[in-house]
């Protein structure tokens, strides 16, 4: 894109401002800001020296990849206008299938992983039948399924047992080249798949079905079919999450991870997704990151207090209380930001009407505002690709696909042009 226009300083500045405005009004904005805040808080409380170590980052990823994957899976369903709070027990299902097929039938680990993923896809299909085919309210149907799947889990494995060969869980905990956590691979794989899907018809159709089923149907899309594909994709991702969970715990437990279902939903909402057709996978990642880091921060905050104040002791009850309270505050923050975005959108419609009626002289909004508002109209930012995304999901989620555009449009002063809005400069400027 830059080849088309001369990169004069003023142009770069303008495009940086556009990018900033665009980011400011994207659905991922609130979530990524929260994530960033949590990151800073966590690093500060833990001490940057000990936070930014390969070991610590590695631990963060090994412990939280399953949850992040669950949030990503959930976000796909939210985009398609449905949800599944039985995600958590489905992960446990993968866990028990992987462990038991290995233990009882002597199937090699990689193969039993595939079986586990298959089980997750089956469970997802069941949920699809309830939500899309039978058209039950997704929340209640998936709640009911939670019982069914939990029951099945216990049927397969009655008590926690089994183990994973050392080779595999060591590999999961290890670092590639000494600094890239191996657990990222799962995340990267899923994000790559999604980056592909987003660019196919299915990607658009998912948003369309989430936005309005009837309209999508009228456009020749089968909402049921699109939801089926979304559920299959989600089943696969949950399968991957379950495998990661198994590698992380290196044991089997039929009754674990149930709360991942609801928590992944919370993560998505905090990240800025809303029910039906709004938000990106980046939202889910930053939301999940926020939840994780806040819990971490609270832990380090209390241990700092314990260190600083002699004789001070605290139970985990306080920690849980504080982190849940912060999560609630995070939710409120998301909504406040979303409201600001709506306001920007409204301002822009007003501006259109104004220019339409010819009251431009009365327009009281200074250009930067206009730019921000204009950017509200940007397409949903593409979803992050590649492993670097997980390092700073907040920003890389915005490295959207290039938008071909005419120079005339980018030249417009009111900032609605597309231009080089997605360039890195804009992001760095924001930072």
Partner 1 sequence: MVELRDIHKHFDAVVALHGAGLTVAPGEIRALLGSNGSGKSTLIKILAGLVEPTGGQVLFDGAPVHIRNGRDARSLGIATTFQELSLIPMMSVRDNILLGNEPLARLGLVDRKSADRRIEELLDRFHIKCDPDTYVQALTPSVQTMVEVAKAVAQNPRLLLLDEVTAPLHYDEVELLFGSMRELAAEGVAMIYVTHRISEVFTICDTVTVVRNGETVAQGAVGDFSTDTIIYHMTGQRPEAAASHAGSETGGREGEPMLDVRNLELLPKAKDLSLKAYKGEIVGIGGLEGQGQSEFMRALLGATPFQGGEIVYDGQPRRFRSPAAAVREGIGFISGDRNREAIFALRTVEENLLAGKVAKGRLFAYMSARSIRAFARDAVGKYAIKIGSLRHAANSLSGGNQQKLVVARWIAMSPKLLLLDDPTKGVDIHSRREIHQILRRCAQEGMTVVMSLSETEELLDNADRIYVFYEGHVNAVLSGAQKTPEALAAAMLGMSGPGAADAPSPSGPHSDSLSGRSISRSIPGAPSPSGPHSDGFPVASSPGFPGAADASAAMSPATGGGGGKGATP
Partner 2 sequence: MKDNLTPLMRAKVFVKESPARMAFIIAILLYVATVAVSPTSLNANAIGSIIMMTLLLSFASAGQTIVLIGGGMDFSVGAVMSSAAILATTIMNHRDGYFLPLLISALAMGAFVGLCNGVCAVKIGLPPMIVTLAISNVVTRMQYVLTQGSPLGYVSDAFFRSVTTRLFGVQFLPSIILYAFIVFPLVFFLLNRSRFGKQVYLIGNNPLAARLDGIEVSRVQILTYVFSGMFSAFAGILGAAYMQSVRCQTFDEYAYNSLIAVIIGGTALSGGIGTYTGSIAGSLVMVVLSNLLTAMQLSPTKRNVVLGVLMVLLLVLYNREKNVRQ
Q: Which residues bind partner 2 (CB under 8 A)?
A: 130, 134-137, 139-141, 143-152, 154-155, 158, 213-214, 217, 223, 262, 265-266, 269, 274-275, 315, 317-318, 320-321, 324-325, 327-328, 331-332, 334-336, 338-339
Q: What is the size of the binding site for partner 1 (CB under 8 A)?
A: 57
Q: What are phi and psi of 171, to 5 degrees?
A: -60, -40
Helix 54-79 to helix 260-271 angle (10° resolution) is: 80
SS3 330: helix
Closer to partner 2 by Cβ: residue 30 or 117: 30
Query: How far is 160 from 137, CA to CA, in rounded Å?
Result: 33
Q: Least distance in Å: CB of 59 to partner 1?
A: 37
Residue closer to partner 1 by CB (options 106, 358) is: 358
Among 200, 305, 321, 328, binds partner 1 (CB under 8 A): 200
Question: How many other CB atoms are there within 10 angstroms of residue 366's CB atom?
Answer: 8
Q: Name which of partner 2, partner 1, none residue 200 binds, using a CB cut-off of 5 to 8 Å depending on partner kind.
A: partner 1
Determine the interface stretch with partner 1 among 85-93, 169-177, 299-307, 354-362 (rule: CB under 8 A): 354-362
135 binds, among partner 1, partner 2, none (CB under 5 to 8 A by kind): partner 2
When the beta carbons of 88 and 415 are compared against partner 1, the nearer one is: 415
Spatial distance between the Cα atoms of 190 and 160, rounded to a whole number of angstroms: 28
Residue 426 Cβ, how far from partner 2 at the closest point, in Å?
Answer: 29
5 binds partner 1 (CB under 8 A): no
Q: Note whether 304 binds partner 1 by CB under 8 A.
A: no
d(CA 417, CA 408): 9
- The answer to whether the CB of 245 falls within 8 A of the CB of 91 is yes
Residue among 61, 59, 66 at smallest CA distance from 260: 66
Residue 161 pairs in a beta bridge with 252
Q: Which stretch binds partner 1 (CB under 8 A): 30-38, 62-70, 115-123, 373-381?
A: 373-381
Listed ranges 114-122, 175-183, 264-272, 399-407: which one lies at the site for partner 1 (CB under 8 A): 399-407
* Residue 417 binds partner 1 (CB under 8 A): yes
Q: Is 134 in the site for partner 1 (CB under 8 A)?
A: no
Whole-Å CA distances, 318 to 183, 206, 298, 311, 324: 31, 41, 9, 16, 10
Find the part of the chain contacting partner 1 (CB under 8 A) among 61-69, 92-100, 173-181, 414-422: 414-422
Q: Would you say 70 or 243 has its CB closer to partner 2?
A: 70
SS3 category, 313? coil
The single-letter DSSP state of residue 181 is E
Instruction: Give the phi and the psi of residue 100 in degrees, each rounded to 5.
Output: -70, -40
The closest of 304, 245, 342, 308 to 29, measured between CA atoms, is 342
- From 237, 267, 202, 207, select the one nearest 81 (Cα to Cα): 207
Question: Of these, 308, 357, 366, 431, which contacts partner 1 (CB under 8 A)?
Answer: 357
* 425: contact with partner 1 by CB under 8 A: no
Does position 277 interact with partner 1 (CB under 8 A)? The reply is yes
Query: Residue 420: which of 345, 409, 347 has the closest Cα?
Result: 409
Q: Is 205 in the site for partner 1 (CB under 8 A)?
A: yes
Tell me if 106 contacts partner 1 by CB under 8 A: no
Non-local CB neighbours of 35 within 8 Å, separated by 6+ positions: 271, 286, 287, 289, 290, 293, 393, 394
Q: How far apart (Å, rounded) are the C-alpha atoms in residues 379 and 201? A: 16
By beta-carbon proximity to partner 1, the closer residue of 155 and 402 is: 402
Contact criterion met (CB below 8 Å) for 86 and 142: yes
Nearest distance in Å: CB 216, partner 1: 7
269 binds, among partner 1, partner 2, none (CB under 5 to 8 A by kind): partner 2
In three-state form (DSSP H/G/I as H, E/B as E, the rest C), the secondary structure along 343-363 is HHHHHHHHHHHHHHHCCHHHC
Does the protein bind partner 1 through residue 412 (CB under 8 A)? Answer: yes
308 binds partner 1 (CB under 8 A): no
Token match 């980046």: residue? 282
324 binds, among partner 1, partner 2, none (CB under 5 to 8 A by kind): partner 2
Contacting positions for partner 1 (CB under 8 A): 196, 199-201, 203-205, 207-208, 211-212, 214-222, 277-278, 345, 348-360, 362-364, 374, 376-379, 401, 403-406, 408-409, 411-412, 414, 416-418
């Amino acid at each position: 894109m830059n080849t088309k226009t001369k990169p004069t300083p003023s142009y770069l500045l303008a495009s940086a401002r556009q990018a900033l405005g665009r980011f400011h009004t994207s659905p991922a904005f609130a979530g990524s800001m929260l994530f960033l805040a949590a990151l800073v808080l966590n690093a500060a409380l833990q001490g940057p020296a000990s936070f930014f170590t390969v070991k610590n980052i590695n631990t963060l990823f090994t412990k939280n990849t399953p949850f992040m994957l669950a949030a990503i899976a959930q976000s796909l369903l939210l985009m398609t206008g449905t949800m599944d709070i039985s995600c958590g027990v489905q992960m446990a299902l993968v866990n028990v299938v992987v462990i038991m097929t290995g233990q009882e039938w002597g199937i090699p680990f990689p193969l039993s992983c595939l079986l586990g993923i298959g089980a997750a896809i089956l469970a997802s299909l069941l949920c699809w039948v309830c939500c899309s085919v039978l058209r039950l309210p997704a929340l209640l149907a998936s709640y009911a399924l939670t019982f069914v799947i939990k029951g099945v889990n216990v049927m397969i494995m009655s008590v926690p047992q089994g183990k994973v060969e050392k080779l595999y869980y060591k590999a999961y905990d290890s670092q590639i080249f000494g600094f890239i956590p191996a657990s990222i691979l799962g995340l990267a794989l899923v994000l790559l798949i999604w980056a592909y899907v987003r660019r196919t018809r299915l990607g658009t159709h998912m948003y369309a079905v989430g936005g309005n089923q009837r309209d999508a149907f009228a456009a020749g899309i089968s909402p049921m079919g699109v939801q089926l594909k979304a559920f299959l994709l989600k089943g696969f991702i949950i399968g991957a999450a379950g495998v990661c969970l198994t590698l992380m715990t290196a044991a089997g437990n039929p009754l674990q991870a149930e709360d991942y279902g609801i928590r992944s939903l919370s993560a998505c909402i905090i990240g800025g997704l809303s029910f039906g057709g709004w938000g990106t996978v980046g939202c889910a990642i930053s939301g999940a990151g926020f939840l994780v880091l806040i819990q971490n921060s609270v832990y380090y905050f209390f241990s700092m207090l314990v260190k600083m104040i002699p004789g001070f002791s605290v139970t985990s009850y306080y920690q849980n209380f504080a982190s849940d309270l912060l999560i609630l505050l995070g939710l409120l923050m998301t909504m406040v930001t979303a409201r600001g975005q709506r306001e920007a959108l409204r301002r822009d419609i007003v501006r259109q009407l104004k220019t339409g009626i010819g009251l431009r002289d009365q327009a009281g909004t200074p250009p930067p505002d206009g730019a921000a508002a204009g950017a509200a109209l940007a397409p949903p930012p593409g979803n992050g690709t590649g492993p670097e995304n997980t390092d700073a999901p907040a920003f890389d989620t915005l490295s959207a696909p290039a938008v071909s555009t005419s120079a005339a449009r980018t030249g417009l002063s009111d900032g609605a042009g597309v231009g080089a809005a997605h360039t890195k400069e804009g992001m760095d400027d924001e930072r």
